[in-house]
Amino acid sequence: MKEHITGLIEQALDALIAQGQLPADITPQIQIDHTRDKSHGDFASNIALTLAKSARRPPRDLATQICEALPSSDLLTRTEIAGPGFINFFLSDSSNQAVVRSILEQGDRFGHSDVGQGRRVQVEFVSANPTGPLHVGHGRGAAVGDSLCRLLAATGWDVASEFYYNDAGAQIDNLARSVQARCLGLTPESPEWPDDGYRGSYIGDVARSYLAGDAIDAQDQHATGAADPNDLDAIRKFAVAYLRREQDLDLKAFAVHFDLYFLESSLYQSGAVEETVERLVANGHTYEKDGALWLRTTDFGDDKDRVMRKTDGGYTYFLPDVAYHLNKWERGFQRVINEQGADHHSTVTRVRAGLQALQQGIPEGWPDYVLHQMVTVMRDGEEVKISKRAGSYVTLRELIDEVGRDATRYFLVARGPSSQLTFDIDLALSQSNDNPVFYIQYAHARVCSILRKLTEQGDSWDADSGLGSLQELQEEHEKALLRRLDRFPEVVANAAATLEPHTVANYLKELAGDFHAWYNAHKTLVDDKPLRDARLALSAATRQVIANGLALLGVSAPESM
RNA sequence: GGGGGUAUAGCUCAGUUGGAUAGAGCAACGGCCUUCUAAGCCGUGGGUCGAGGGUUCGAAUCCUUCUACCCCCGCCA
């Protein structure tokens, strides 16, 4: 529709230029906006305002001329000049109602598009090391990352989701020593407890399971426990598998799927890390200082250079990160999106710098990052500090168990990633009725209920009849709902383009609001059959869009509540 | 000290990328269920869009300077 109006304006401008009313050298940027206030029509353009200066004409005069030059269109009933020089476009009823047919015809594909054109995109998210269960911060990453995958898939991208983790570094050693200490009967209070050991009670669970000889099958890790508390390698392997399995269960409960789990250790085994170092050295972006090997990241916008090989010969974490991203590039992902917590912000510059220093033709701003700000958790009116080492934090699983998967996902995805998020458990529990996710789901369930009622009455609904009598939809509530439904594809496209899933959540809240208002004001199952069928068509279309939108957020659309 | 983020109603937050009179939900108050699900609807009150300056037809939105809070700034990941 926007394209249609843009085309009309273009024709009008061309005509005015041909008549010599406008200078030929203007370069109009035609912008069509949805109106905020329906008294301003359905769409508005500021074209006369932006052209006023170069045309040296008062904007309202210009607007009048443009309006007069507009070709006629079946889709419009009228245009008007308003305010300082806006041109408002009023759509005909039939063009407003056409969206119902589109929705019912396209079904669960309504709102999808093909802007991605089948290009590949990789989304990496969560990427938690297997040193403990997933906490609420990981949950935000999971909710946002998974929703991004769904949005990108819906807009025509070929999406690959990936989870990257370190199964061999210092933190894993720490994990193994912590589990070993538990195997030996130590507790975090013991004087012999390892420095910086993981203190959470789950470490004791891992130790017991190890000693019991349990067999662990995770998505990508398998191990069997042994009785020997002195076999640190066996403990390490077991602990990693055990905690990976825990995380798998967390992710499963959250309905989040990964196409690939990528091990940092594989980059060492394949020689990718060494190769990366050699290329960086060969390209002359490195130097030796204090017995360490440095990368001159300041050449690429960092505020200071970074150590890549430590004096002990080991590599700092960011070097495998660079090797990993080179690997992504070499796998053919011209677009990569990394969703991570904002506390990893400093790695963005370093990884990009390392990739530039490799001189492999990787674009400067590659890869994309979506950084979500911290989640603070409130319980009993107090902030719960997240500390894996101290073992005091709220796990994702606890949240899912307490407030449900749908509410948890919705809460975590409904805010812009760049905003800090407070997850108030007490609020989510005690006032779960006020949770917006129920409000949206309720709208969906209500439509299902109407259709059930129809069936109970021994009646059935004829979609063709409904689509044939859409002109019956003349109530203001119905027009508002039609306008809202029409915007869904644009909302999806915009959310995918800006990587902001929360805009879908906001849209759904508004859509549900429009529906509830209509539902209360006007009965659907009326005796007047054409009107009834038209309303059923509108209801079914609303249900479809709610279901499609919730699917993008990974939230279910229940048929009854 | 440097980098990133945030600041909008009492609280939690939107604000369609610079448009017309800044919006929801909670909380407060008052209404609506013998009628398709009241987890709903309708109404009332509530604002110096952190502060100052700038850009222009037009700013919550862009630029700039401050202020406050959060996160990073390790040869940890």
Q: Are A437 and A557 in contact (CB under 8 A)?
A: no
Residue A198's CB: how many other CB atoms inside 10 A? 24
What is the ipTM score, two decimals? Answer: 0.95
Residue A198 amino acid letter: Y
Q: List, edge to edge, every strand of the sheet that includes A421-424.
A: A382-384, A375-379, A421-424
CA of A154 to C1' of B21 (A): 37
A288 touches strand B (CB under 7 A): no
Cβ neighbourhood burial of A357 (10 Å; 0-12, 13-18, 19+):
buried
A44 touches strand B (CB under 7 A): yes
* Look-up of token digits 């995770």: A218
pLDDT value for A37: 81
pLDDT value for A429: 67
Residue with smallest Cα–C1' gap to B58: A84
Residue A144's CB: how many other CB atoms inside 10 A? 27
Token code pair at residue A58: 């008062």
Those nucleotides of strand B lying less than 7 Å from any protein Cβ are 2-7, 12-17, 19-21, 23-27, 35-37, 39-42, 56-58, 70-77
CA of A421 to C1' of B57 (A): 39
- For residues A94 and A474, give the distance between their C-alpha atoms in angstroms, rounded to a whole number: 11
* Look-up of token digits 């505020």: A303
Q: What are phi and psi of A316, to 5 degrees?
A: -75, 165
Residue A516 amino acid letter: H
Cα radius of gyration (chain A): 29
pLDDT value for A317: 85
- For residues A171 and A402, give the distance between their C-alpha atoms in angstroms, rounded to a whole number: 30
Instruction: List, as own/partner pairs, every contact residues A267-272 make where C-beta atoms lie below 8 angstroms and the sequence separation is at least 24, other chains included.
Output: A267/A320, A267/A323, A267/A324, A267/A327, A268/A168, A268/A320, A272/A323, A272/A324, A272/A326, A272/A327
Give the 3-state DSSP-derived string for A68-116, with helices as H, strands as E and coil as C.
HHCCCCCCEEEEEEECCCEEEEEECHHHHHHHHHHHHHHHHHCCCCCCC
A385 touches strand B (CB under 7 A): no
pLDDT value for A385: 67
A502 touches strand B (CB under 7 A): yes
pLDDT value for A386: 59
pLDDT value for A528: 93
A166 touches strand B (CB under 7 A): yes
Q: Encode chain A (561 residues) as per-residue pLDDT tens digits.
A: 788 898 899 898 888 888 888 887 777 778 888 888 888 889 999 998 888 877 878 888 889 989 898 898 888 898 999 888 899 999 999 999 999 999 999 999 999 999 999 999 999 999 999 999 998 999 999 999 999 999 999 999 999 999 999 988 888 999 999 999 999 999 988 999 998 888 888 999 999 999 999 999 998 999 999 989 999 999 999 999 999 999 999 999 999 999 999 999 999 999 999 999 999 999 999 999 889 999 999 888 888 899 999 998 888 888 999 999 999 999 999 999 999 999 998 899 999 999 999 999 999 889 999 999 988 888 777 777 655 555 556 789 988 988 889 999 999 999 999 998 988 877 776 655 667 899 999 999 999 999 999 999 888 888 899 999 999 999 999 999 999 999 999 999 999 999 999 999 999 999 999 999 999 999 999 999 999 999 999 999 999 999 999 999 999 999 998
CA of A423 to C1' of B7 (A): 19
Instruction: List, as own/partner pairs, every contact residues A344-349 make where C-beta atoms lie below 8 angstroms and the sequence separation is at least 24, other chains included.
Output: A344/A371, A345/A371, A347/A318, A347/A321, A349/A297, A349/A300, A349/A301, A349/A302
Residue with smallest Cα–C1' gap to B73: A346
pLDDT value for A462: 87
A459 touches strand B (CB under 7 A): no
A262 touches strand B (CB under 7 A): no
Q: Are A164 and A338 in contact (CB under 8 A)?
A: no
Calculate the alpha carbon distances from A199 to A171, A182, A248, A392 in Å. Answer: 13, 10, 22, 9
A306 touches strand B (CB under 7 A): yes
Q: Which nucleotide is closest to the Cα of A490 by its C1'?
A: B16
DSSP state of A257: -
pLDDT value for A359: 93
Q: Are A306 and A316 in contact (CB under 8 A)?
A: yes
A301 touches strand B (CB under 7 A): no
A442 touches strand B (CB under 7 A): yes
CA of A175 to C1' of B77 (A): 13
Peptide bond into A59 cis (omega under 30): no
Q: Which nucleotide is closest to the Cα of A506 by its C1'?
A: B14
Residue with smallest Cα–C1' gap to B57: A49
